[in-house]
Chain A
Amino acid sequence: MVRLITHNLLACHVRGCNSNNFPLQFQDVQIGLREAEFNPDFLRGFLPKIEWNALVGAARQLGDTSLPEEQPSMLDDDFLKTLHHVLLEIHVEEGAMVCPNCKHVYPISNGIPNMLLAEHEIG
């Protein structure tokens, strides 16, 4: 499933596309919401790996504006619950992700992103 936690780790890898190739932009998406078990320890540990601006931008593209512009320094439960929802409970089921640089389109079908490239596009 393409959740925002996964989206935050995917970059365009077309040959020669090395800058401004992250984050991928969502296009024509269908989303589903599914409850997940809250694990604050995991969220605290994972937070340093997140590109905050990319996450906020991606959430807004999906219509979720609950995250603050700046990553808060206080990780209270309210914030962690908001983060939990945005990272782990929003599922992009169909649509595509587009590279902001080279405009390569990566389709999403049945919740699975197709990140394969044709032979001539491989870096």
Chain B
Amino acid sequence: MIPTPDLSHLTRKDYEHVYEPAEDTFILLDALEQDAEYLRSVRPKICLEIGSGSGCVSSFLGTVLGGTCSLYLCTDINPHATQCTVRTGKQNKVELNAVLASFADPLNARLRGSVDVLLFNPPYVPTIGEEATEAQSSADIQGAWAGGEDGMQVTNRLLDMVESLLSSNGCFYLVAVKQNNVPGIQAKMLQEYGLHSEVVLHRRAGGEHLFVIKIFRGSSDQ
């Protein structure tokens, strides 16, 4: 049993601007814990979380793998979130390297084929497209959930970068809900990028049917 990261340093004030870990966060933690042995066996050197928010997920990954065993990079477009990410890392003795950035934009050139573990808990809630666009440019808490049409407006942009980022034995954990069309995501990654995938965890929580999809190169031995 790996403990949930200590978030006691974060306050109501922080959660006015930064998404507070909830069921969608916890299903991702559970998926990482379930894969802990596999993840350690890959001996990741570079882990990258997009939209790290509170920093809860990367802190947890750091605890799973060992704080000094990998580089933990975390991007977010929300400056409050990057600060919280660093603080949560410190609180949990994992050095999280936060970068204020959209997706992996400033890292893409140097991280080509180098990311061993990629994490994304995207804004997946279906909204009208404009709402998601505005939420992203406001770079505040709305950007953590408003996902536009099918809830896929933001996720689709990352899906097109995954293949170029992943290392040869790298894997990508993505949170999704049923309305995002999970089989559609899996088909797209296979057909357009030759990437395999499996649903490693799914559960109903509140009104949502949550999924964690693991996307990777190669065939079936992962």
8 Å CB contact of A46 from B71, B86, B105, B107: B71
Question: Contact at B101–A112, with CB atoms within 8 Å?
Answer: no
A122, B110: Cα distance in complex, Å: 18
Known: A1-B86, A13-B105, A39-B69. A46 touches B45 (CB 8 A): yes
CB nearest to B109 among chain A residues: A11
A37 proximity list for chain B (CB < 8 A): 67-68
Contact: A9 with B100, CB < 8 Å?
no
Whether A114 contacts B110 in the complex (CB less than 8 A), given A36-B68, A39-B68, comes out as: no
Q: Are A42 and B70 in contact (CB under 8 A)?
A: yes
A10 → B minimal CB distance (Å):
5
- For B95, the chain A residues whose CB sits under 8 A away are 1, 36, 88
* Contact among B79, B86, B114 with A111 in the assembled complex (CB-CB below 8 Å): B86
Q: How far is the CB of B70 from chain A (nearest CB, A)?
A: 7
Chain A binding surface, main DSSP class? loop
Residues on the B chain within 8 Å of A3, using CB = 97
The residue on A at minimum CB distance from B107 is A9
Which A75-116 residues have a C-beta within 8 angstroms of B? 88, 106, 110-116
Q: Is there contact, CB below 8 Å, between B99 and A6? A: yes
Q: Which residue of A lies closest to B167 (CB)?
A: A49
CB contacts (< 8 Å) of B114 on chain A: these are 49
Question: Measured between C-beta atoms, what is the minimum distance from B103 to chain A in Å?
Answer: 10
Interface residue? A22 (CB, 8 A)? yes
- Shortest CB-to-CB span from B24 to chain A, Å, is 25
Query: What per-residue 1/0 map shows which CB atoms of A16-56 lie under 8 Å from chain B?
Result: 00000110000000000000111101100110010100000
Choice from A1, A10, A38, A45 contacting B106 with Cβ under 8 Å: A10
The complex places the Cα of A69 from the Cα of B71 at a distance, in Å, of: 24
Query: Residue A5 at the B interface, CB < 8 A?
Result: yes
Contact B98 A112 (CB under 8 A): yes
Supposing A1-B86, A115-B105, A115-B106 touch, asked if A49 and B100 sit within 8 A by C-beta, the answer is no
22 A–B pairs (Cβ distance < 8 Å), ordered by A: A1-B86, A3-B97, A5-B97, A6-B97, A10-B110, A13-B106, A13-B109, A21-B109, A22-B110, A39-B68, A39-B69, A41-B69, A42-B69, A45-B43, A49-B46, A88-B95, A112-B79, A114-B79, A115-B100, A116-B77, A116-B100, A117-B105
B binding-site residues for A, Cβ under 8 Å: 43, 45-46, 67-71, 73, 77, 79, 82-83, 86, 95, 97-102, 105-111, 114, 139
Nearest 6 pairs of A and B residues by beta carbon: A39-B68, A115-B106, A115-B101, A11-B109, A9-B110, A114-B100
